[in-house]
Structure 1
Amino acid sequence: MTREHEPSALADADDRTLAGRAADGDTAAFAIIVRRYTPMMRAYARKILPGGADVDDVVQEAFITAWQKLPSLDDPARVKSWIMRITSRKAVDRIRARRESDDIDAVDPTAPEVATPARVAEARSSLEALRAALAELPEDQRQCWTLREIGGYTYEEIAEQLDLPVSTVRGMLARARKTLIVRMEQRR
């Protein structure tokens, strides 16, 4: 095979081959992984992040991390789910970093004209209670709940994203929902 034909053959290679070559330092193989998964990663990051301003930064950070850690990937055939988990973590990290720097007193959501001050206060209190209850959940349950309830993902998509069996996802969601219901009932 000549060098001119190699990129075309490489473009048709499976993930295992590409990830293996990229782990050995083949930048052309990694470039194909980047082209192959960037649209999916951008769509996923867009679902997680509030607003779209940070999507490209998160995807870029995920690829940098993937390039650095690719040699440690146990199963190169699973590069897709692995890189999507990296994207998920980078997006969540971005949200956490933003929350830590936001001044809650500076954020004053405007209430609808029909909302009374008492209803606005109750809604804020409920939202804060939900945030606190979510913060108490184990990380895996919180991720499942967020992907399902906020991201609208199916059980199968969550299982693939988090590299878990669907039955485990169902169990974690059930435990998360039960814990949240108990915590929200306690605050009443």
Structure 2
Amino acid sequence: MDLHGPLRDASDTILASRAIDGDLVAFEVIAHRHGPLMRVLAANLLGSELESDDVVQEAFISAWRHLGELNDPARIRSWLMRIVSNRALDRIRARRHHDDIDAADRASTGPSTEALVEHRMQLDAVWIALGRLPADQRRCWLLRETAGYSYAEIGETLDIPVSTVRGLLARARATLLLEMEAWR
């Protein structure tokens, strides 16, 4: 693909509109434009650059398949960021079902089985509590607490004002504090 062609300088709105109409080249320009930020987000959420490429690829496949559901082409960037964050969260959830407690118990320097079980239960409680949050609160909290995004970066990623980010984070933290009270 010639990234120096006329679409290179087109706005996200034009590119997304063309992609919705089936223009693969426009979608490739979108992928080249937003892929690096999506990789950073995925790597920060996953704690692994190795998995981030897979998650971004899955996100682009999903985005291509669901382009018709994009209501506002101008919001393509935030829509892609939501997709990649959801894919990363799915990957994290899948990980927690693969821990081998017996192998950890056999390790001489590792924590006890009881400590691992308690830690696993606490993590499960956090995920359950996060799952109960409204989607916008959950995304803000995850971007702030797991990816280390600033309020401004969260606002830009989710395409919402910083004041809204502050409110969503405050409500998410208050709810999580209540939900996790038993684990204090």
Scaled to the shorter chain, the TM-score interval is 0.7 to 0.9
**Do the aligned partners of residues 99 and 130 (structure 1) sit closer, same or farther apart at CA in structure 2, a change above 3 Å counting?**
closer
**Ranges in structure 2 where 5+ consecutive residues have no aligned partner:** none
- From 12, 17, 41, the equivalent of 2:14 is 17
* Paired position in structure 2 for 1:171: 167
User: Among 31, 34, 45, which residue is 1:34 paired with?
Assistant: 31
Distance 1:183 1:25 in 2: 45
- DSSP-derived class of the 1:74 partner: coil
Q: Which runs of 5+ in 1 are unaligned?
A: none
RMSD: 3.0
Q: How many residues align?
A: 178
- How many angstroms apart in 1 are the aligned matches of 2:129 and 2:46? 21
- TM superposition score normalised by structure 2: 0.79
**Paired residue for 1:63, among 51, 60, 63?**
60
TM-score computed with the length of structure 1 as normaliser:
0.77
In the TM superposition, residue 185 of structure 1 has moved relative to its aligned partner by 4.4
Matches within 5 A, 1:1-188: 8-100=5-97, 102-106=98-102, 108=104, 121=115, 125=118, 128-129=121-122, 131-137=124-130, 138-140=133-135, 141-188=137-184
Tell me, in whole angstroms, the C-alpha distance in 2 between the residues paired with 1:126 and 1:57. 28
Flag the structure with larger Rg.
1
* CA displacement at 1:74 relative to structure 2: 1.1
Between 169-178 and 19-28, report the one with greater CA deviation.
Answer: 169-178
Deviation sequence 1:100-137 (CA, Å, 0-9, x none): 3x135146397989x9x7xx94x974674364145224
Q: CA shift at 1:82, angstroms?
A: 0.9
